[in-house]
Each structure stands twice: as structure tokens, then as C-alpha cells.
Amino acid sequence: MSDLFRLSIKEASEGLMSGSFKPTELLDSVVKRIKTVEPNINAFITKTLDTAREEAKKSDQRYETKRILSVLDGVPVAIKDVFCTEGVKTTAASKILENFIPSYDATVIKKLKDAGAIIVGKVNTDEFTMGSSTENSAFGVTHNPWDLSRVPGGSSGGSAAAVSADECLFALGTDTGGSIRQPSSFCSVTGLKVTYGLISRNGVISYASSFDTIGPIAKSAADVALILNVIAGNDPMDSTTVRSNLPDYSSFLNKKIKGKKIGVPKEFFGQGIDPEVNKIIENSLETLKSLGAEVEETSLPSTDLAIAMYYIIAKSEASSNLARYDGIRYGKSEIENLESKVNNLIELYFSNRTLGFGDEAKRSIMMGTHTLSSGYHDAYYKKASQIRTLVKKEYEEAFRKYYALITPVSPFPAFKIGEKIDDPLTMYLADANTVPINPAGIPAMSVPAGFTKENLPVGMQIIGPHFGEGQIIEVADAFQEATDFHKKKPNL
Amino acid sequence: MLNVAQLARIELNKLEQKKFADQLGAVLSNFELLNKINTTNIEVTSQVAGLSNIFRKDEIKNPVGEKIRDDLLSNCPQVEDGSIKVPEVFDFGGKK
């Protein structure tokens, strides 16, 4: 009973339903775990353990009176610190929002609360979700639970590390170019980037609005299905959300994948990939073959263009989105410190933005300002938007033939803290396997696939067609039934 | 570089000007890769939701009132009489 924090959602729900333990006991176990491991991990920016305790007591009563709200009732969850939470600080890991307290809940937060989930806190990210290591946070780095000298990946590094270290049963992250999948791969957890429009973005701080998605990071594909059932669907407050009815995602569990055609795009196995990662993904493909899947090589020739295309569009959209942060209506302002120096409004904008934003945010804003500026717009933004069409079409073609595509999530396992932080181009190039998916708008999951000789996790990326989350869950669940990589835990 | 920073309302010191110019220069030259591709007659993709013209009734749904106003204003660095206070928009050379 002392190790309740280790449970998956499915296991916890069974225990809660049968009365083996109560939501407050589950929470106590998770809180104890947070106290033990958090000094080494630093996943949280803000903990909300007092409110969590009150909510867990209410959940206790619901289980006693058999008025359970959902399978997530009483289940502790951590939230990436870019989701607005009413009355709880939401910083986007930026100094410019260090004191920002939203007056409302993001739609998905409301859905989780209505489902009875217990929020234990807000977790670390790269500033405004821009980064691949969580080092671009104004609130310190998060450490990878598998090797504390390494990054957890990013930008949802706090979410992935918290799930991996059992500081929560699941977490929410966001994925604009790999920000759920890459940290999931680095921390050996299961993370899903959904189809653009499946989950409401209302109340979530934007990076690149045409790529941004919300998704779960959990301990198994089965748990991902349970979470998706709660948070997916239309929201009148986000006009890009899906209009049609969605399936019960748990209906894709415990299926046979015999005869399913799986494509392996060769462009993802080129130079620059760590041989150990290559080997682990090859072994995973063998596992899928042994389950009866038909695996064959295919090609997505535009993959090499994806990085440049992605970063032009992402940074252009980012510069527009970050224009709203000026420290006037909310956020950090220098007005009090510098009153004698600030003579007018424009000087205040300069002070607030210069002191409020970190380096990667500044780079993004300046890059986007450049690529959108008059005279450069066609050469950069329009060109990239045309290449986006090519990339998107290649995936549409591929899914006429294949049930799913499989690639490595990252060309290498988690790198050392500080190793790449001064070289943004190298950091961008490391996202080669994850960024093509967001411009295409399709879903993809990171699934634990093995470990290197140094015991660093490696993730397999399962890509599906538009609104093909069910198919991905089906393949991932079959893989997890046949393997136990997702059950391995770091030594903490 | 300075022009872009000016447009973005960000101040850069000498060291930062050099650092960011080098870093952004490297990234922008990587973008040159796209120029090799002929994109004549290829449509642009600006969104992938496959939806268009989603309308809703123009009606107030959220509660209005002093609480929501106070919540919103509580985030403002400077407030006076229930309004957001900012320095003057035009600088007439007067001393603050």
C-alpha cells in the first residue's frame, strides 16, 4: 500500500473502485513521493498540495457514496505551466509572467476538474514552450530521472519527468514540434501529440497557433486512451476544434495488430542517428512483426525540408503571439523600479520586454519579426507555407497505404545539461523527427522502446493519420502488451 | 539586427547584438535550403483543421461584474480608480 504512487491510472482506478484505498491515501502517497524526489528532479514550478488535499477529501466522499465522476476521479495529475488555472499562478516559465494569476480555467483544466482529477501542481517547461531541453526556463532546470546530469527533454520536460519519477499518475503537456514526444522519449513515458483540433486550446498560452496541440503524458497507452476520453472534443471557445463525434478510445485496447501495414520512412534513419537508437527501433519493429504486423520501408522525401519550414512558420507565429506581453495589463512590469527612467509608454514596453523575456523567446521574436517583415514575407513565410503543403500531402499519401508509420522520436537519447544550450541551430536540428508532424496536423505518440548501454531511455514514434489516435493507441497498446519497457522505473 | 530588435521592442546590449546576430545568421542560412525547391503553383497551407467559418451567436456568456473585473485588474501592475494606468503615450519632454 505504501507504493501507491507507482500505479497507472487503470490500476489506481481499480483500487479506488474496489475500496482497497481512498483518493486521500493515493494523494498522500504521491505527496510523499514528491517530497522525496523533487529536490533532485525540480519538475514543479508551483505545487498546489493544499487544494489537492481538499479536493481528494471530496473525492473520498464520492467513492463512499458511489457518485464517481469518471475514471480519473481522485487521480493526481501535474499540469504544464502554460495552462491557465483559476487562482493559481501560471508563468509559462517566463519572468514576464512570474506573477500572473489567471481569472479562469483553460477548457481542459475545467474538464479534468469536472472529472474529479486532483491537480498537484504546475510543472516546468521551456519558456513559452520554446525549447527541447527545459533549460530555457526562468525557474531552473529540471533533471532527467534516469540520469540527473541530463536534460528531461522539452519543452514538456517537467511533465515527462514528473510522470517518470512517479510524482503524479499522469500529466498534461503541449506539443508544437515535439514538446510532448521528445521528453516522453527521454524519460521513458508514453506521450501523445493529438491531431490539430482534437483538444481545445482555449486558455492555453500559445507558441505557434497553427501547430500547437494539447496532450497527455502517462505511464501507458491504455492510460492515454482513458485520459483522451475525458479531454478530447469540441469546445465552442476554440473554433478549430473537431465538430464530429469521437470514438471511445479504450475500444482500441487489447486488439490484435495482425496484418496491419506499418511503414518505416527511411529518411528518419539517416546520418546523425545514434547507432544504439537505430538498433532499439529495429528491435521494436521485429516485435511488431512477431505480433503479425506487416512492416515495410517507405519514403517521405520532403522530410529534409521540414526543419527549415517548421522553424520559419513557428517563429513567425511566435513573434505575433508574444507581441501581447508588454507588462501593462498583467505580468512583470518595471514601472515601479524604473519610474524615473521610463518617460513614456514605448520606453515601458522596451523595459518590460527586455527584462521579462529570456534568450530563446527573444531569438524567436526577432526571427519571426524578420521573416514576416515587408520584403521578406514571401521568401520566408509564404515559401515555408508552400513547403508545408508538400509535407502534408506526403503524409496523406502514406496513410492511403499504411495503418501507421514508425520512426525514432529523437536521433539520440537525453543529452547532458548545458551541452547544447549555446547553439540554437544544433538544438533545432535535433527536432528533425518530430517537427514534420505538426505542420501536417496529424497525431503521433512516443512509446518507450528500450534503453541504451548507459541505461538511457529511447522512444519509438508511432504516427497515425488525421484523427487516427485510435489506431496509434491500438499499435502502442499491442506493443506494450508484448514488452515491459514502459514499466521500468528509474532508480531514485 | 538592431532594426528587428527595435521593431520587436527589445533592447540589446553590444554583447547580445553580436551573439544574436551570429545565432540568427546561422539559423537563417539553414532556411536557404528551401530556395532550392520550386514551389510555383503550390498552394500555401496556413491551417490544417479542415474547418472554415465557424460562427457563434454574439452574446455574452461569461458573468460580468465586479469580481471578474477585480480579478483581471489584480494582475495589473498599476491601477487607478478601476482603470489600468500607463505612462504618457507621447513624450513631450516633460520630467516625470
Mind listing the pLDDT tens digit for each residue in A253-305? 999 999 999 999 999 997 789 999 999 999 999 999 999 999 999 999 999 99
For A325-413, where are the E strands, in sequence order?
Answer: 404-408
> Concatenated DSSP letters for B66-88?
HHHHHHHHTT-S-EETTEE----
Q: Nearest CA of chain A to the CA of B53: how many Å?
A: 9
Q: Which positions of A are annotated as active-site residues?
A: 80, 155, 179
Rounded to whole angstroms, the Cα distance separating A286 from A368 reads 43
Q: Are A171 and A44 contained in the same domain?
A: yes
Q: End of a domain among A321, A354, A384?
A: A384
Rounded to whole angstroms, the Cα distance separating A68 from A23 reads 11
The dihedral of CA A473, A443, A11, A67: what is its sign?
Answer: negative
Cβ–Cβ below 8 Å for A343 and B44: no
Confidence category of residue A232, pLDDT binned at 50, 70, 90: very high
Residues on chain B touching A329 (C-beta within 8 angstroms): 72, 75-76, 84
Q: Are A252 and A135 contained in the same domain?
A: yes
Residue B96: is its pLDDT beyond 70? no
Pairing outcome for strands A170-175 and A213-218? antiparallel
> Looking at the partner chain, which of B10, B30, B46 has a beta carbon nearest the beta carbon of A308?
B30
Q: What is the pTM of this model?
A: 0.96
Q: What percent of chain A has pLDDT over 70?
A: 99
Q: Are A190 and A330 contained in the same domain?
A: no
Least confident of A107-116, A363-372, B54-63: B54-63
Enclosing domain of residue A338:
304-384
Cβ–Cβ < 8 Å for A209, A242 = no
Give the model's pLDDT for residue B20.
95
Q: Are A358 and A410 contained in the same domain?
A: no
Confidence category of residue A338, pLDDT binned at 50, 70, 90: low
Q: Are A167 and A65 contained in the same domain?
A: yes
- The answer to the question of residue A291 being in a domain is no
Give the model's pLDDT for residue B52.
85
Number of H helices, E strands in chain B: 3, 2
The dihedral of CA A320, A321, A324, A327: what is its sign?
Answer: negative
* Average pLDDT over every residue of A94-117: 97
Mean confidence (pLDDT) of chain A? 96
In three-state secondary structure terms, A370 is helix
Burial of B66 (C-beta count, 10 Å sphere; 0-12/13-18/19+): exposed
Q: Are A376 and A468 contained in the same domain?
A: no
- What are the Cα distances from residue A477, in Å, to A169, A250, A324, A468, B45? 18, 10, 42, 14, 33
> Looking at the partner chain, which of B26, B48, B90 has a beta carbon nearest the beta carbon of A425?
B26
- Residue A119 contacts B, CB cutoff 8 Å: no
Residues on chain B touching A362 (C-beta within 8 angstroms): 8, 10, 20
Residues on chain B touching A385 (C-beta within 8 angstroms): 44-46
**Which residues have C-beta within 8 Å of that of residue B13, sequence separation ≥ 6?**
none
Cβ–Cβ below 8 Å for B49 and A240: yes
Total structural domains within chain A? 2
For A179-305, where are the E strands, in sequence order?
Answer: 190-193, 213-218, 261-265, 294-298
> Looking at the partner chain, which of B4, B49, B51 has a beta carbon nearest the beta carbon of A366?
B4
The domain spanning residue A439 has which CATH number? Answer: 3.90.1300.10
Q: Are A82 and A175 contained in the same domain?
A: yes
Q: Are A406 and A380 contained in the same domain?
A: no
Q: Which residues pair with A263 in a beta bridge?
A: A296, A405
Q: Nearest CA of chain A to the CA of B24: how many Å?
A: 7
- The answer to the question of residue A289 being in a domain is no
Give the model's pLDDT for residue A385.
97
Q: Which residue has the cell 492511403?
A: A400
- Residue B4 contacts A, CB cutoff 8 Å: yes
